[in-house]
Structure 1
Amino acid sequence: VLLWASLLVLAAPVSGPLAAVYKSVISVQPPWTTVFRGERVNLTCSGFHFYAQEKLQGYRWFSGKARPRETPGNTLEVRDSGQYRCQAPGSLPSNPVHLIFSSASLILQAPYSVFEGDELVLRCQKRGREKLAVVKYTWNRKIISGTDESFDLLIPKASLNNSGCYQCVGFLENAYVLKTSQINIQIQELFSRPKLEVTDSQPIEGKPVNLSCGTQLPLERPDTRLHFVFFRDNGVMISNRSGSPDLQITAIWREDSGSYWCGAETVTGGIHKRSLPLQIDVQRIPVSGVFLETQPQRDQVVKGETLVLVCSVAKGTGNTTFSWHREDTRESLGQKSQRSQKAELEIPVIGESHAGRYYCTADNGYGLIQSQAVNVTVRSIPGIKRSLVAGGTTGGSLSILLAVALLFYCWHQRKPGDGFQGDIIRRPLTVGPPGPFNPMCPAPVELQQLYINVHPRERDLVYSEIQISQPGAEGEANTFRTSLENQHVSVVYSEVKTQL
C-alpha cells in the first residue's frame, strides 16, 4: 500500500466502472473565513491535471445558485458572503469554503483549514475607534482564556481534541460587553490512522511475507514526510524507522506468529499514530518422506575412506531434528537440529566393523518419522595404493638413471676382457682378476640368482639387470650390444625391495 499523496474520491467516468479521481483545492488569503463587510478576500484554485470530466479552457468558479464563471487565471477576488468552490483543468470541483462578510461590531476570525500539529490562531476583532479592554475566549461554552495583553488565542500545536465551538467575549473600557457568534472549528487529520496489511495472514513457514502500513495525506499537504515502524506483540520493534511504508520479512517461522501493528509519525515527531493489531498465524508443514542415502553408495564403501550418511525429508518446514542409528546394534550415531530439509553425518574412517544396516529419523514437532534401513557393506582394495605406486615409479626412474651413469663410468675404467659370463638363467658368478681399483666403481660381489617373470611377495628382494656393451671393432661408438654372447659385457645387478 503506497503512501497516498492526495485525497481520492470516487466518480463515474464516461465509461467503465468507478474510478479514482482528484479534487481541486481552494485556499483563502487572508486566511480568515470571517471578515468585516467592505474588505476583500482572494481565492486561489489548484489542480493536479489527472482527470477532466470535460475540457476546460480556464478555471471555473461556483458560488451558490449563481451561474459558474471561468477565469484565465487561478485567482478570484470576492466581497460577498457565500459558499465558494472552484474547478481546475484536469480535476474535479473542490470542497466548499464558506465566507462571511460581517457588519457586526465584534467578530471572531478563524483560519479556513487547520491540521493537527499546526499553530491555531484565533483573533478577536472590533470595528470602530473604541478599543477593547479585556478579551475572553470560550470553548464549548467554557472560558479558556482571559487577557488584557493580547487579543489573540494561540494554540501552538493543535490536536483533534481542540475541535469544537469557539466564541470571543470583549469588554470595552466603559464595561460594555460584546460577544461574537460561535464558530465551529474542526481540526483536520494531517494523515489518517495507519492500516496494517499483510500479503498472507496464515503464511507457510519459511516463506516471505510483506507488511504494508497504509495511510493517507490530505490534498492540501502532499509533501508531508512520515516515518514508519513495525511492531510485534507487546511493542517488540521488528524494523527501524524508515520513510518506506513497506516491510518484507524474507522468511517467517512459527515462532514469529503473533499480533502485529505499525506506527506512523511525522519526521519532527510531533504526531504519532498506530494501526489496529493484525494477527499472523504461521503454518508449519509436518515432515514426511524421510529418506537415508550414503555417499559413496552403500555397495561402494571402501575400507579407510569416509562415509557420509545423508538424511532428507520430502516435505517439512521449520526447525527439524535429525538423528542417525544402526539397526543391528541399536546404536545412536548422532543428532542435529536445524532449519533445513537435509542434514549430513560423517564417519571419517570406515572399517569392517562399520558394515551393517543404518536408518535415520526426523521430527519438527509433529512426531518422529523414520526412514527405511540401508545396508552398508565395506570392502578392501588389494594391491598398492595409488600414491605409493606413483612415488615408487618416480623414485625408481631416478635410481635407474643414476645407476646407468655410474656403470657407464665404471665400464670406461675396466680393461678390455674383464667382465662376467653367464647363461640365460643366471647362476652365482665368480669374479675374474680385478683391474685397477677405482673408488667410484663398486668391487665385484657374488650375486644371487635372478629368475625371469618372478612375482615377489611383500618385502621380497628383487634383482634387476643392467648391461652395457663396448663399441664394436668397426668403431660403431653409438651401437650397444646387449647379447650375452659378447665377451666384453659388464653385467651389474642392483637390488630393490618392494614397498608392500
Structure 2
Amino acid sequence: MLYQLSHTGLFKLSWTADPGSVPRHPTYTNPTYIWYKNGQNVQDNSSPMYSISSEDADSYYCAVKGHNGLSSPAVYKPKTTVSVSPSGEIVEGSSVTLTCSSDANPPVQSYTWWYKKNGGDYQSMTGPQHVFNQIQSSDSGEYYCEAQNEMGTDRSSTINMDVKYDPKSTSVSVSTSGEIVEGSSVTLTCSSDANPPVDKYTWYKKNGASLTGSEKTYNFTTISSEDRGEYYCGAENKYGHLNSSSVSVDVQYGPKNTSVSVSPSGEIVEGSSVTLTCSSDANPPVDKYTWYFQNKTFQNGFGQMYNISKFKSKDNGHYHCEAWNGRGSMNSTALMISLPGKQTSVMNAAVGIIVVVLVLILCLSGLMWFRKKSSKSISETRDTSENVQGDSSPVYDNISGMAMAPTATQTAATVVQDDVHYASVHFSRFKIQEVPLYSTVQLHQPQKQDEDVQYDAVKFNCPSYANRPTAAQAAEEDSSVLYSTVNKP
C-alpha cells in the first residue's frame, strides 16, 4: 500500500492501493478508508483522499475497513534536534561542528540554521551542518536550526555557543582625565576581555619591579612626585596571560631642591665675569626665577641665570634665588660669593700668630737653658768679674729677615713686597745695673691703613756676670721680667 502527499492550497493525503495489495473479494468493491491522526480515528471516508491545512500538520495514517492489518505507514512533520562536536568546553582556535538532524516522514527536504552572535541580529545559513575550522570568540552566541518536509517545519531548541579564550585587549585607565596634583587620590583600573573572566591581575611600574597588589584596581591614597611614571598591568585566567600597554601618570608639584651654582667654580678673580644659575625640580617646569643679593631683589634679575660681568669687592655677599611655577614656589639656600683677598688676610694672620707662638717657645727654651748654665758657673764668674767690669760693650745677636736694620727706603719698599717675619734677640752685660734681655718678634704686614698690625715682644732682664749675687741673694733679688704684648686694632 502506498501513499501520496500533495499540496494545492491544502495538504491532501491520498491512498493508492497496489492492485495486488487488496484481495479481490466482493466486500472490497467499494472499500471504506479510515484516517487516523496521532493514533485517533478522525474520518471514515469512501475517498482515498483526506485534506488538511498546514496548521493541522501532524502524524497521519489510514486503513481499509474490513481488511485486517492493511494500513498505510504514518506521515508526520520533522522532529528536529541539534548536536555539537566535540562536546564539552569550546576553546578558541579549536575545530567545532554543529549538526542538525530530524526524524521525518516523508524525509526532510531542507535545513536552515539561524544564529545571533554577541547580541546582534539573527542571520541564517543553509545545510544540515555548520563547521568552524578555528572557532573565534566572536562566534559566541545563540544557534538553532529548522527542518522542513511536506508535513511542515520543526525548529530545534536553542544552544548557547560559549567560546572560551585567554585575556584580550588588556588596558589601564586613570580615574581622572585632568591634571594629577601631588597629594591627591588616584586610582588605576586594569580592564581585559577574557572568558572565563580574569582571576588575577599584576601591576607594574615601567623600568621597575612589580607592585604590591593583585586586584583590578591600584590606588594611590596620597600620590607624590616620586610616583610619577608609566604603569601597566597584566591580566590572567586559566587559558593565558596578557599585559596591557603602559599609561603615563604625570604628577604635578611645586618647585623642590632649589639651589644656586656659580661659574667659574674655582677662585674668583676681580674683574672677571661670574654667572649664577638657579636649579629646581618642578612639574610643570619653573617659569619664573627671582634673584636676591643680601636678601634684596635684583633689578632685572628674573631669569634662570644671572651674570655679573665685572665682579668687584662690592659684589661680595650672599646670593639666593626663588623658583616659581603654577603649583608653588621655593627659595634656595644662600650662597656666599667673594673675592679671595679677605680670606687670604685671615690666613696670613693665622700663620703669623703660629710663628709668634713658635718663636716664644724657642726664646723660653733658650732662657731656661741660659739660667741653668749661669747657676753652674757662678764661681767662675766671680773670679773673672774684674776683667768683665771694664767691658761695657753690648753683646747681641740679631736674627732678621733682612741683612741689616731696615732703613727708611727699605721700609717703604716693603709695602709692595711679600710679608717679612723677623726676630731680634739682644743680650747685654753691664757693670752694675741690670740689662734687659729681650726678643722681639714682629709680623710685618703690607702698609695699608685698614690692615691689622700684630706683633709680640718678649723682654728678659738678667744681671751681669760681674755683679751676680750669691745663690741666696739671687733668689731674693732676681728681678727678671718676662712679658709678652700682643696688640690688635
Bin of the TM-score, shorter chain as denominator length: 0.3 to 0.5
Normalising by the residue count of structure 1, what TM-score does the alignment of the two structures yield? 0.36
Structure 1 or 2, whichever has the larger Rg, is 2
Normalising by the residue count of structure 2, what TM-score does the alignment of the two structures yield? 0.37
Q: Choose between structure 1 and 2 for higher RCO, CA contacts under 8 A separated by at least 6 residues.
A: 1
Identify the structure with the greater strand proportion. Answer: 2
Identify the structure with the greater helix proportion. Answer: 2
